[in-house]
Structure 1
């Protein structure tokens, strides 16, 4: 009897991996399959990108800013990041996403694809993609399904990026009936599964994912983290660097001094951001360079009002938009 049980156990042990492999067959496109032709008209894509004159032929790593939900580059970055980079002469570009990013994230990603290609072409060098909130994941979708863009990007910095969806969206829209982007950024969304399929990061790109424990929109803690090799991927909580940091979901991408310092560290060094290189004095600063301390409260309030109004007016759809055919292994 013991011998019979041993034989059965051996057969089960051998058979299990085969069954498991079959059950977990990857439905999504191979990571190196060429991306599809962009469906958005070329004139619309080009009109959505603007760059500083210094980005043309630059020998520095041009920063491409991708805004989050409900705002454009002016509302998101013109009162903080742009003046900060203007002061030091650092080149940058920004992309305006359709409908202020309240529609299908897959469409927004096409704008990011074009923006990456354009910024790389005019700068003649690899660029840094800086995405706040949804901007951090729409840009990752671009890198996942248009592999030609990866060789154009040296750094990807996510500022509270919704990399693995948010529990808040799960709770607000358990049965659908919400803005398209919100349904796509649920933790259970097919979009989230697709953007993280096969691998979350790619060789040659340094990834810095910044988060805050005071994030009121992207939850739970850790949903921003990316999986990838140490030395190429840095998942950094602001409170691990400055324990008293009070940055929330909005300020991490717009006015926080530590988020600014870590981002600049990432795009001016080899590899992702290294918190050990950030001066301790940064923890005592209330606002990042470029943001006016005398108006920052008003600027933040205007940012939040704009985003809230745009999201409230967004069309309601009954279900998450269907994934495009190019996303799948069989199309």
Structure 2
């Protein structure tokens, strides 16, 4: 397993380097022609946190097709988990070979939402899918929703909660795995101004306009328990050396715990970005602690045995190499081939006070 983890980190490093290189030397024709934002958010006031959210612009039929649930989700006897995937992948690559089988073994009802274009396009549009998913799961189950998201999947629900305040009463737990809650310096290197990058990558650069809008006024909301799981050896989401890093949240209204994998397993120097949201046993144990207790997770409750395990429950060791390779191939393909734009998409009018 040590070899597998070292291989994982090397693969992620190569993907980042290859993506940055291809973007830097890519042909000008690869840059999209869509309108891009040039506004300075410092000069505009963001919308108040309790202003009702705008109508959803995505057709209802598309929204309805984006959510899939287990048969026991309607009229569930416990809170239903809603999984939100990360950039470049779909729910199948992100959670289909790890979290979904684990939840099946626990007899825990769950749903997933599939964002458009492998979550590579405007995150503001993807947020509408998450808004719909939260409302749909809450209505169908009659229970508060537990939202679990990896990478971009960690920040999209927060954008939804920020600008559609009706969803806040519907959510019990928010659990982020290596979430880009404040953007990432690593993404900046993948988005040079001349060649550009995918819209969702622009929006995950450090303190982008999108990030500033998402975190405006307050980062958390009362009644929701926030658990942020990150690793100090994350090569994609940086900086993340402590709880002042990009994944961690800093207050507003909800109860918060920001937990590094190394807070539970100090000797773990190999857990990286992809692992945290797919097969890391410590990340799983932290999330389960949050789901099975009132409030956010607490490191002291997480069993130390997680540090000695190879995979989280739900991962088939014999099938791991193939599943992991398939996920990484999807990531690589999206990073290399998705059309690029030369700047961040413009912020939607509803994020501003006027």
TM-score normalized with structure 1 length: 0.90
Q: What is the distance in 2 between the residues matched to 1:128 and 1:230? A: 17
Query: In the TM superposition, what are the counterparts of 1:265-276 in structure 2 within 5 Å?
Result: 265-276=289-300
Deviant stretches of 4+, over 4 Å: none
1:215 aligns with 2:234: yes
| Counterpart in the other structure of 2:257 | 234
Equivalent residue of 2:326, what SS? helix
- Is the 1:80–1:288 Cα contact (8 Å) retained in structure 2? yes
Q: What is the distance in 2 between the residues matched to 1:95 and 1:172? A: 26
Q: Deviations over 1:117-165 (max 9, x none)?
A: 0010111010100000001001110010000000000000000000000
1:91 aligns with 2:114: no
CA drift at 1:302: 1.4
Give the superposed CA RMSD: 1.6
| Counterpart in the other structure of 2:182 | 164
The structure-2 alpha-carbon separation of the partners of 1:30 and 1:71, relative to structure 1 and needing over 3 Å to count, comes to same
Q: Which has the larger displacement, 220-229 or 67-76?
A: 220-229
Equivalent residue of 1:131, what SS? strand
Q: Which has the larger displacement, 52-61 or 156-165?
A: 52-61
- Structure 1: gaps (5+ residues): 1-23
1:313 aligns with 2:337: yes
Find the structure with the greater CA-based Rg: 1
CA drift at 1:211: 0.4
TM-score normalized with structure 2 length: 0.84
| Counterpart in the other structure of 1:13 | none
CA drift at 1:25: 8.0
| Counterpart in the other structure of 2:279 | 255
1:182 aligns with 2:201: yes
State the number of aligned residues: 308
Q: Deviations over 1:214-241 (max 9, x none)?
A: 1111111111110127981000000111
Q: Deviations over 1:36-73 (max 9, x none)?
A: 00000000000000100111111211100000011111
| Counterpart in the other structure of 1:8 | none
CA drift at 1:171: 2.5
